[in-house]
Each structure stands twice: as C-alpha cells, then as structure tokens.
Chains A and B, each alone.
Chain A
C-alpha cells in the first residue's frame, strides 16, 4: 500500500481542488484522507455521506470542583497563562486560556482540580461520489489542531484501506510548517507540493521543503497558475531541479477551477479540455513516480 500526500505551505494555491481531481482519477482504488485541519474543504467537492461518525477527543482543560475547593488561591498563583479567575468568592478556569499543563491540579491541596479531556469535534468515514471511502473530520472552533487529529485521520484511512484491499491512500495535507504538517508527512511514500509563482508562494514552499528534507522523502511539484509570473515559475523550476524534486506539471491560471467548485464538482467532472488533460497526465506521472521510489 502506498501513501501520497499533497501539501502547499501557503493557502489558496489550489491544493484542495487538485487533490479532489486526483481523488476522482484514482477511483475506488484509493482511500481519501482530508488532513487539512484548518480548512477541511474537500467534502464540498466529493459529497461524503457522513455514514460513520465518532467523537474526537484532544487536549485537557482544568476544571475546579467548587464543592472541594478551599479557595486557597494556589491555582491562580501558579498558572502562567492567566486562565484561573477569581470572581467574588470562587475560582474558575477560563477554558480558552487553559493550556492543559495541569500545574494547578498538581499543587491543589484539596485535590479539587480535574483535568478533563476535551471533545473537540467529530471524525467520519464516508462513502464519496467516486464510490470509495474518505476519512475526514470537523473540529469545533479554537480546538487544538495538533498532529493528533492528523495522525488519527491517517490511521483510520490506513485501516479502511487494509480492510477493503485498496492499494493507495491519497492525503490532502495540512498548511503551514507546524505540527499538523509534520504529522501529515510522516509515513508518506511520495509528497506533492502544490505551489504558485508568487513571492509568497515560493517562499512558503521553500520553508515546507525543509521539512520534507528532514524526513528524507521523495517529492514532486505542481506549479499552479504558472503564467501569473513566468519568471518566478522558472525559479521554482530551477529550485526543483537543484533539489531533486520531480517537476510534475505547470497548470495555467484558469477560473474554470472556481466555476467547477461553484457547482460542487471536481475539474475532471466539469471540464473536458485542457485542465482535465493536464491533471490526467499528472496523475499518471505521479503513480509512476510513487512506484519507482
């Protein structure tokens, strides 16, 4: 079984639209995993049925038992995050400020503080319109978007793939350079970087490439909207060559992406011209490259 992960560093490069197109091309031979925890949008194109849902717990918050509390104020004194409030005659924890370090619980002489694991959302196994399975999640606001959720989604996707005998897992990875993207990359057989030829797109791609190198992973690059600035596109091309990143495709600036999204369709379903051809060729290339690594 092979795992292909698609990441971008910067938002708005077209990563999710491109991943959804690949999901359609992979058909029912692949399990899809949406690990873009900040902007989990792929479900808008792939029509999941949310058939299997489970609660997701992550992170702990302190809760003070008012019955047991002796109002000594020790908790407030040790908290470095100003999460303990004194109101009139009682102490309470503001959940949004609590980091879950449990220092207050550790020093409370009355054992009045419990660390309670937080239900921060749900994760799902769905059937999608390409008749395969997708594992995805929906988190509440302010939830800890740690690597834990990403690891969970990927693990479940692997289980589904094993049970249904599928050869491939296709992962829509997380943005940025922090913990979630590290978790997205871990265990990948091949990584695809989707970037755009803008100063910020190139800058963010280089930052995330450092992570790929740390993990010794093989990777390829898709330059979306390459004609927005051909000069920077060429620089990205050179960067790929120097760093042994396979160049997979250049995709032109095309508002068909938006038009397809507006109808809730992937490019493959919406367009039978140039874009679909580029994406089909790219997908063929990606499968070959993944196999050869």
Chain B
C-alpha cells in the first residue's frame, strides 16, 4: 500500500501529518516514509534515526566533444530548451536547462555530444526502529525536481518488501512534481487549513486528484481557526473528511523546534489515531 500526503499550498501541515502519522504507525508495524518535497525536504527535522546509506542521483546530459565537433549548429537548432548554445567556436551546454531528451546527442552527425551522467541530488536512508525514512534532496541551483522524485520512489519500491506500507510526503502545488509524486499511489490524503486560502488551494488540489482519477480524502489541520467552509465543501463534493487536527499554539511551538506532536500532545495523538481508524474503515489500511 502506498499513501501520499499532499496539499495545494505549502505550509498547511503536510510534513507534520506525514512524519507524525508514519511515526505512530511504525509503533504498530514497519513503515517506509519518503520525503519527496525535494526542493525543501523538511521531514528530516522531525525524524531522527541511524543513517543507513546515501545514494547520489544522476541524470543524463550531453557533454561537448570539441575534437569531433564541426560546429554545424544542429544541436542548438533541435534543443527546445535553450540548453545547448553555439557561441563562436564553442558549444555550451547548460545542465540545469537540459531536460534529457537526447535529441541533440542522437541527432549530432559527428557524435560530438555523447550523453554523460550528472549529479542533481541525493537520497539518504535512515532507520529508527520500524520506521525507514528516505529523504530525496535536490541540489541548490538545480531547477528540475522530477528526476530526484522518480529516483526516490524507485528506491522505496526496490529496497523494501512489497507488502510494507509506504507514506510519501509530496511536494506542494499542482504542477509536475506533485503529479510525479502521486500518480502511482493507492490513496492520497490532502491536508488543508480551514481558511479561505486553504479552501481555494484545496480545490485546485482536488482538481488534480480527479484528473489523475485517484482515490483521496481530506484532513483539516489547525481545526478551530477560520470557518466551516472546508467541512461544507467536503460534504457537498462527497469527499471523505478523514480527520481534524486541532489548532494549538503548543503544536506550532513543538513544530518550530523539530519535535513530534504525537509524542507530547495527547489531543493531537487522538486526532491521528482517529485518522488511522478512518483509513481502516476506508480499507486504505488493514
């Protein structure tokens, strides 16, 4: 079983839910938690554990071979991303702009742009008892998150037994990274705040899930602030509301210093247990 935790907007409690839920469940059975918010991976502030291994993530980019090149400029013509530019007598490759389509390389009449691997990020594996934690991290300066997300998911697939529960902390937004992180999971939990901003961004996230034809439910974070519009929306749209995490300043304070809320705040632990019960009723968890 694979569950992703996502949200339309950043800062609504995605990482809080992913880390606390994974930690709590790992007290019952083994769990894999993968942080796929590779631009700003923050789950690691909350899950400490023994470091098992680190693996670099590479992707393929062309590398100019000056000796073979006849400066015909075909590479620059076929590149739609302006990643290959002919400047005078030189061909420059801009790694960050390259999407790895191989067109320049394979269509070069001189074979002067062979593809080589290029490091764009890394995956680190940690273990804390029955909680296996994977962190995907994009190097600063890189713009394309998808290859690192893909590799981290692959790692989670291959390294662990098929039956083990996998929880993904997805990136925010509604564009390619979140689609990559959610397209192959069995269930998605969308987390939101009960405010106008929260609701507006939730609706966008719901649109994505419907487009991907995914099974999903909603958790309200900071329940008690704002208004009841999110609850009404769930009813109107017949989307299961699977949990409400209460609004507490102590939660914000615990989060600030990297603490797990389920450990120290009983009200939040209860809310999480309820989410687990609801996931069982929905047959997402056994």
A and B held together in a complex: yes
A262 touches B195 (CB 8 A): yes
Cα(A18)–Cα(B45), bound, Å: 27
Stretch in B95-103, B126-134, B237-245, B273-281 touching the partner = B95-103
**Minimum Cβ distance to chain B for residue A170 (Å):** 18
- Given the interface pairs A39-B8, A199-B256, A261-B195, the reply to whether A101 lies near B173 with Cβ below 8 Å is no
**Minimum Cβ distance to chain A for residue B154 (Å):** 14
- Given the interface pairs A199-B256, A200-B15, the reply to whether A258 lies near B80 with Cβ below 8 Å is no
Of chain A, the residue at the smallest CB distance from B221 is A12
> A207 contacts which chain B residues (CB < 8 A)?
40, 140
**Minimum Cβ distance to chain B for residue A78 (Å):** 7
Cα(A96)–Cα(B99), bound, Å: 15
Q: Fill in one digit per residue for A68-92: 1 if any B CB lies within 8 Å of its CB, else 0.
A: 0000000000101100000000000
- Given the interface pairs A197-B256, A198-B255, A228-B256, the reply to whether A103 lies near B197 with Cβ below 8 Å is no
Of chain B, the residue at the smallest CB distance from A206 is B140
B40 touches A176 (CB 8 A): yes
A-side interface mostly: loop
- Given the interface pairs A199-B257, A261-B196, A261-B197, the reply to whether A38 lies near B80 with Cβ below 8 Å is no
Stretch in A26-34, A125-133, A142-150, A151-159 touching the partner = A142-150
> B99 contacts which chain A residues (CB < 8 A)?
99, 101
**Minimum Cβ distance to chain A for residue B66 (Å):** 24
Interface residues of B in 240-277 (CB under 8 A from A): 247, 249, 252-253, 255-258
Cα(A143)–Cα(B178), bound, Å: 12
- Given the interface pairs A39-B9, A141-B174, the reply to whether A199 lies near B45 with Cβ below 8 Å is yes
- Given the interface pairs A258-B195, A262-B227, the reply to whether A200 lies near B40 with Cβ below 8 Å is yes
B175 touches A143 (CB 8 A): yes
Cα(A290)–Cα(B10), bound, Å: 28
Cα(A175)–Cα(B10), bound, Å: 8
Cα(A137)–Cα(B255), bound, Å: 33
Stretch in B23-31, B47-55, B156-164, B201-209 touching the partner = B201-209
B9 touches A41 (CB 8 A): yes
B179 touches A255 (CB 8 A): no
B-side interface mostly: loop
The yes or no answer to A178 lying at the interface (CB within 8 A) is yes
A-B pairs with lowest CB-CB distance, top 6: A12-B11, A11-B10, A11-B11, A101-B101, A229-B256, A103-B103
Of chain B, the residue at the smallest CB distance from A178 is B143
CB within 8 A of A103: which of B10, B102, B200?
Answer: B102
CB within 8 A of A38: which of B140, B173, B227, B249?
Answer: B173
The yes or no answer to B1 lying at the interface (CB within 8 A) is no
> A80 contacts which chain B residues (CB < 8 A)?
100-102
B42 touches A200 (CB 8 A): yes
**Minimum Cβ distance to chain B for residue A184 (Å):** 14
The yes or no answer to B12 lying at the interface (CB within 8 A) is yes
The yes or no answer to A203 lying at the interface (CB within 8 A) is yes
> B234 contacts which chain A residues (CB < 8 A)?
none
Q: Fill in one digit per residue for B161-187: 1 if any A CB lies within 8 Å of its CB, else 0.
A: 000000000001111100100000000
CB within 8 A of A177: which of B42, B81, B140?
Answer: B140
B101 touches A144 (CB 8 A): no
> A16 contacts which chain B residues (CB < 8 A)?
197
B256 touches A264 (CB 8 A): no
The yes or no answer to A9 lying at the interface (CB within 8 A) is yes
- 6 further A-B pairs in the complex, CB-CB below 8 A; given A38-B8, A44-B196: A12-B12, A41-B196, A103-B101, A106-B78, A204-B42, A261-B197
B175 touches A103 (CB 8 A): no
B256 touches A96 (CB 8 A): no
The yes or no answer to B4 lying at the interface (CB within 8 A) is no
> A255 contacts which chain B residues (CB < 8 A)?
225, 247
A41 touches B256 (CB 8 A): no
Cα(A60)–Cα(B11), bound, Å: 31
B252 touches A12 (CB 8 A): no
A262 touches B252 (CB 8 A): no
Cα(A172)–Cα(B9), bound, Å: 15
> A258 contacts which chain B residues (CB < 8 A)?
195, 225-226
Of chain B, the residue at the smallest CB distance from A147 is B143
A103 touches B255 (CB 8 A): no
- Given the interface pairs A39-B197, A175-B10, A261-B196, the reply to whether A229 lies near B175 with Cβ below 8 Å is no
> A199 contacts which chain B residues (CB < 8 A)?
42, 45, 256-258
Interface residues of A in 151-208 (CB under 8 A from B): 175-179, 196-200, 203-204, 207
**Residue with the greatest number of chain B CB neighbours at <10 A, chosen from A144, A176, A262:** A176
A204 touches B197 (CB 8 A): no
Of chain B, the residue at the smallest CB distance from A38 is B173
**Minimum Cβ distance to chain B for residue A223 (Å):** 12
The yes or no answer to A102 lying at the interface (CB within 8 A) is yes
B102 touches A38 (CB 8 A): no
Of chain B, the residue at the smallest CB distance from A202 is B256
**Minimum Cβ distance to chain B for residue A67 (Å):** 25
Interface residues of A in 260-277 (CB under 8 A from B): 261-262, 264
